Amino acid sequence: MRIRLFLQFSFFSLVYSWPDGAPCVHAAFESMNPLEAVEHQGGLQLNEPPYEIAVDQSCYWANQPVGLTVQGKNLTIKFKGFAVQPYEWRNGRTLGRIGQFIRLDDNGSWQQQCFRRKDSATHSHDEKKKHIKLWWKSDDDLRTVQFVATVVEHIRKFWVKSVISVPIPPCRQSRRTENWFAPMPTAPPPVKAFKQETHRVFGKGGFQDAPFRPMNGRGRGRG
């Protein structure tokens, strides 16, 4: 029984510890929440984040790359992990993801979160970083895009979907978004209860007897 539990917990740690990037599993992809990994419990920050997403231009054209940089608001601030996604922005609300991230350099510090989808980028190692430069493009120029990021300063300090860019409209509609101010962070939806229970069983200095439940999660897809 203890061997089974050890193997189950090892698999859980492989999938839900994220030193080499957010995994390509549904919960992590949709929530962008490090609390999906129990090691991050207690680290959620709801104050103004010390990070920002700087975008190279105030509007975009179809099929033209747009550069963006995840960075600290001053040069002394660093971070270890991140996930960033491009959302359609409309009247103060974010809707579905649009466009895709593309690689225009050989920076190995970021990667696609899911290789079959290119609308979420994440870190590839947990060494400290001052900034990460990415590029994004869209096949059309019909919708305003806003880049939304989760940034992890360290395992017990992170901001979930709270580091956001100024909305970037299509150039043929508008040259910039006027009178926009970043909102204060709000608490994300709670993670599923089974993760908390797994942490209770395994996270307090030893294994406890518990029924074995096979896990069906998979790591980052390659395809």
How many C-beta atoms lie closer than 10 Å to residue 143's C-beta? 17
- The pair phi, psi for residue 32, each rounded to 5°, is 55, 30
CA 30 to CA 87: how far, in whole Å? 12
CA 190 to CA 192: how far, in whole Å? 7
pLDDT for 220 beyond 80? no
Percent pLDDT > 70 in the chain is 77
pLDDT for 119 beyond 60? yes
Instruction: Give the model confidence (pLDDT) of 146-191 as tens digits.
Output: 999 999 999 889 999 999 999 999 999 999 999 999 999 999 988 7
- Number of C-alpha atoms within 13 angstroms, CB side, residue 32? 27
Which of 22-31, 40-49, 128-137, 207-216 is the least confident region?
207-216
Q: How does DSSP classify residue 217? A: -
Give me the residues paired with residue 66 across strands: 136
Amino acid symbol at 160: V
Instruction: Give the model confidence (pLDDT) of 23-70 as tens digits.
Output: 898 988 899 988 777 766 778 999 999 999 999 999 999 999 999 999
pLDDT for 15 beyond 50? no
Residue 2 tokens, joined: 């203890």
pLDDT for 121 beyond 50? yes
Q: What is the CATH number of domain 40-186?
A: 2.60.40.4060
**pLDDT score at 203:** 45
**Model-level pTM?**
0.79
